[in-house]
Structure 1
Amino acid sequence: MKNFKYLFLMVAIISCSEDNEENGNGFSSAELVGTWDLIAVNVSTAVDLDGDGTTSTNLMDEEDCITGTIVLRDDTTYQFEQTVFNITTITNNQYVVQCSGMSQATGAWASDGLQVVFQGSTLLGTLELKNNTVVKNEGEELPGVASFVYERR
């Protein structure tokens, strides 16, 4: 039953995608094909993890070990790889990030021109298309992540 629901969702998204392309809204599937690099891991409050005196709400400005990519292929398959990391609260609104390997996934993707849906990864789910970026909104406060932002290479 779960596969049937997913298949129905994929067909609905592809149908909407064709409508959006005809109306000039959103991205066409062809525009999405390619490699998308992780450019931001946004948190709710600016932090100075690297101790350089400059704070940022983008953990990638503060921690070098965080990387990620999503490869969207024209056959509607994808490959995903991203650093696994934990944000831990220490004291006085201070945080530490610990990277511990890579998370990987493959599966199928579909888009309605406004969102991309990923099958095969609970980490990805549905991502929003915004201004030449793909965004996964988590909406969490520190020590959680607010959003992940990918930009086409």
Structure 2
Amino acid sequence: MKKFGNVLLLLLPLICVISCSDDDGNDDGFSSAELVGTWELVEVNVSSPIDLDGDGSSSNNLLDEENCIAGTITLRDDSTYQFEESNFILTPITNNLYVASCNGSNLATGVWASNGSEVAFQGSTLLGTLQLSNNRIIKTVGEDLPGISSFIYERR
């Protein structure tokens, strides 16, 4: 009986680990149906805070600093997409100052697919493969200082 008790004590932690594993059936993150809809650009993050609008307040998010920057990604249930984003250029001037100039829009259409943690866009090189995290679609760019580090979209 003592051996049975020892075996049970050894098996108990293993049983707890197995029984506590994630079994909610949603290991892949977002389903394709959850992605369908319009996603709005809510952040264009730069690596260092800058004050584009000259109000004395710097921000890492260019949308806080410049009104001409906007964008959307519309994902349809037939696996097609439409992308539109302001075409803007961030230019350094002097003394750690920058200016953003907006001119027209970047447009793209094509097809999309998702594995639940990423969404891949075909038909244009503007998007590529983007990450899905916390109800956001994230395009990581990672340009040099003070370049664009990411574009973040949230469902409208």
Tell me the TM-score normalised to structure 2 length. 0.82
Deviation track 1:20-66 (CA, whole Å, cap 9, x = no partner) reads: x9443310000000000000000000011101111100000000000
Quote the offset at 1:93 in angstroms.
1.2
CA contact (8 A) 1:42 1:146 kept: yes
2:71 corresponds to which residue?
Answer: 68
**2:66 is equivalent to residue 86 of structure 1:** no
Match of 2:113 among 110, 132, 144: 110
In the alignment, the residues of structure 1 paired with residue 134 and residue 26 of structure 2 have an alpha-carbon distance, to the nearest angstrom, of: 17
- 8 Å CA contact 2:81–2:112 kept in 1: the answer is yes
Query: What amino acid is aligned across from residue 131 of structure 1 in structure 2?
Result: N
Structure 2 residue aligned with 1:51: 54
Larger Rg: 2
Aligned partners of 2:79 and 2:113 also within 8 Å: yes
Distance 1:53 1:141 in 2: 24
In 1: Cα distance, 2:124 partner to 2:65 partner = 27
Aligned 1:1-150 pairs, distance under 5 A: 22-150=25-153
**How many aligned residue pairs are there?**
133
Q: Distance in 2 between matches of 1:38 and 1:70?
A: 8
Residues 95 and 143, structure 1, Cα contact 8 Å, conserved in 2: no
CA distance in 1, matches of 2:106, 2:69: 11
Task: Provide the TM-score with structure 1 as the length reference.
Answer: 0.84
Identical aligned residues as a percent: 65
- Residue in 2 aligned with 1:8? none
Q: Which runs of 5+ in 1 are unaligned?
A: 1-20
Give the alignment's Cα RMSD to 1 decimal. 1.3
Distance 2:25 2:32 in 1: 12
- Give the secondary structure class of the aligned counterpart of 1:64: coil
For residues 126 and 70 of structure 2, the distance between their equivalents in structure 1, rounded to whole angstroms, comes to 15
